């Protein structure tokens, strides 16, 4: 059995989508990790149990509702890092 933090999975997914739509935002490794960490610190973790690569469907469906919160936090994080990037010029 394995524990998967669904919030983390979503943050990376949503972050990729947001960055694809905003080519002006830096998407270097440093910025992407800063954005993901920032968003994840403001979100609740959603751990699910994975057994043989299968995640319990019931839990998964329930968690879909939180995806909107993920988008909100990712957008906030992207805006913040875009204004104050931590990467070296
Ligand atoms: Zn950068």
Residue-number span of the structural domain to which 72 is assigned: 2-83
- pLDDT tens for 11-59 read 999 999 999 999 999 999 999 999 999 999 999 888 888 888 777 655 5
pLDDT of residue 48: 82
Dist. CA 55–CA 49, nearest whole Å: 6
Sole residue written with tokens 């994840």: 40
pLDDT of residue 27: 93
The residues placing their C-beta within 5 Å of ligand 1, an ion, are 26, 28, 31, 85, 87
Domain count, the chain: 1
Residue 88: name the closest of 36, 32, 28 by CA.
Answer: 28
Which tokens in the block code for residue 30? 């440093």
pLDDT of residue 51: 84
For residue 89, being part of any structural domain is answered with no
pLDDT of residue 25: 96
CA of residue 64 to ligand 1 center, whole Å: 30
For residue 88, being part of any structural domain is answered with no
CA of residue 4 to ligand 1 center, whole Å: 28
CA of residue 25 to ligand 1 center, whole Å: 8
pLDDT greater than 60 at residue 61? no
């Amino acid at each position: 059995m394995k524990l998967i933090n669904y919030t983390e999975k979503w943050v990376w997914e949503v972050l990729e989508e947001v960055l694809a739509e905003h080519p002006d935002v830096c998407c270097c490794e440093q910025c992407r990790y800063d954005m993901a960490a920032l968003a994840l610190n403001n979100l609740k973790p959603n751990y699910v149990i994975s057994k043989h690569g299968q995640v319990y469907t019931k839990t998964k469906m329930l968690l879909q509702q939180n995806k909107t919160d993920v988008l909100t936090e990712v957008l906030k994080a992207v805006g913040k890092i875009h204004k104050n990037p931590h990467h070296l010029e």
